[in-house]
Amino acid sequence: MSYLNPTSSIIDLGINIDHVATLRNARGTTYPDPLRAALLAEEAGADAITLHLREDRRHIRDADVEAIRPQLRTRMNLEAAVTQEMIDFSCKIKPQDSCLVPERRHELTTEGGLDVVKYFTQVQAAVRQLQGEGIRVSLFIDPEADQIQAAAEAGAPVIELHTGRYAEAHDDAEQRAELERVQRAVQEGVRRGLKVNAGHGLHYTNVQAIAAIADIAELNIGHAIVAHAVFVGWQAAVSEMKALMVKARLAHPAKPN
């Protein structure tokens, strides 16, 4: 929930500011400043600030994370690969949340969920180290039952479902099938006692169906908001996305048990 709206939120919005840093780095300037973007996003209704410190530092840099962490009034969700360098850095920064994600150096963006089944030992060790520093851990995974089970067994209290296949569906039938896959995964996560978040590829015309899923606690969205801000302004873009999410959730309230 945003510090400007201190009551319990219907659904939280985590604003990913990576591509504010991408724009800055394109010309090697000091602007636009990711810290300013984070603070203005909070004022506009963001409930968390998400940022991904990549191995190649292509957008967010170490200094950005260090500058932003003490200034936030909401919370930091620091995305990181399952490497000792990144886990140690997260333990040094101590964000409120750390989301463990897969990372390949040459990908344009994260291309799929973390394979917790395959890398269970490494993921479990990372979860334990982060939680030992008081950091809540989320695992960014595909909406598949075996990955959800492995996430729970690794000790992570939160999962973030990868919505890329839903967002990139080629037709209505494929999109409906992917939406149903996400819905089933949400139910499985809740059944296992996990907090369920979601994100990737969501924008202003496809977020509604995902936001309407009653048991999704938070959506993390970045690129679409940065792109929309070019035309309408940063805070307007943040506010518009949050309003769309809340409207969709209110239109599909949770059914009583």
Which residues are known catalytic residues?
52, 79, 200
What amino acid occupies position 142?
A: D
- Cis before 32 (ω within 30): yes
* CA–CA dist 149, 210 (Å, integer): 22
Instruction: Please give, one letter per residue, the 3-state secondary structure of 22-48.
Output: HHHHHHCCCCCCHHHHHHHHHHCCCCE
Half-sphere exposure of 160 (CA within 13 A, CB side): 30
Q: How far is CA 135 from the centre of its chain?
A: 15
* Residue 62 CB neighbour total at 10 angstroms: 12
DSSP 59: S
> Can you state the angle between helices 234-251 and 223-232, rounded to 10 degrees?
120
Q: How far is CA 11 from the centre of its chain?
A: 13
Catalogue the long-range contacts made by 82-88 (C-beta closer than 8 Å, 24 or more residues apart): 82/114, 82/119, 82/122, 82/123, 82/126, 83/55, 85/55, 86/53, 86/55, 87/126, 87/129, 87/130
